Amino acid sequence: MKISKTFYWEMGHRLLFHTGKCINVHGHSYRAEIIFEGEADSNGILIDFYDIKKMISPFIDKLDHSCMVYKGDVKLINALNKLNSKLFITENHPTAENIADLFLEHLKTKKIPKNITSAGVKIYETSDSFAEAYSEIRHKK
């Protein structure tokens, strides 16, 4: 059984290493699909949609209307700080692939029901372009 919940937010970024247009600061209307897989319980529920929302919404709130900036992009960090703008500094470049990994890392900090065996994330940077990442859930004994 799989279950999915979708979240939306607006966010800016730039790819410091890029040789094309993406080196410029720009924004996207992002969409994240959070996917859980496992066995439904005796009531026929894998995980409640409300519980997914409780896990993910605080993380989305940190990203929404921010600029995600790679920690090595010091010029952009300094400029955004001078403007008192909301920013989210990352260890890696803010690619769709790395954002998907960030969501998986966030999920690893949450208490996931034992009937769930894996989690996945699809990050849509545009309506027709996405990165997808999956991870097995390792439950603490």
Dump pLDDT digits (tens) for 124-133. 999 999 999 9
Average pLDDT, the chain: 96
Q: Is 109 exposed, middle or buried (0-12, 13-18, 19+ CB in 10 A)?
A: exposed
For every residue of 3-68, which 3-state class applies, written as one string? EEEEEEEEEEECCCCCCCHHHCCEEEEEEEEEEEEECCCCCCCCCCHHHHHHHHHHHHHHHCCEEE
Q: Give the span between the Cα atoms of 38 and 31, in whole angstroms.
A: 23
pLDDT score recorded for residue 56: 98
- Comparing C-alpha atoms, which of 135, 108, 106, 125 is closest to residue 35? 135
Q: How many CA atoms lie within 13 A of 78 on its CB side?
A: 4
Q: Give the span between the Cα atoms of 113 and 23, in whole angstroms.
A: 41
Question: What are the residue numbers of the active site?
Answer: 22, 65, 125
Could you give the percent of the chain with pLDDT greater than 70? 99
**pTM of model > 0.85:** yes
Q: Is the pLDDT of residue 140 over 80?
A: no
As a whole number, mean pLDDT of residues 71-81 equals 97
Q: Give the span between the Cα atoms of 48 and 51, in whole angstroms.
A: 5
Q: Is the pLDDT of residue 134 over 80?
A: yes
Topology given in CATH for the domain delimited by 2-136 = Tetrahydropterin Synthase; Chain A (3.30.479)
Q: Give the span between the Cα atoms of 85 and 87, in whole angstroms.
A: 6
Phi first, then psi, for residue 113 (nearest 5°) are: -55, 145
As a whole number, mean pLDDT of residues 25-40 equals 97
Q: How many CA atoms lie within 13 A of 140 on its CB side?
A: 5
pLDDT score recorded for residue 141: 66
> Confidence band (pLDDT; 50, 70, 90) for 138?
confident
Dump pLDDT digits (tens) for 43-53. 999 999 999 99
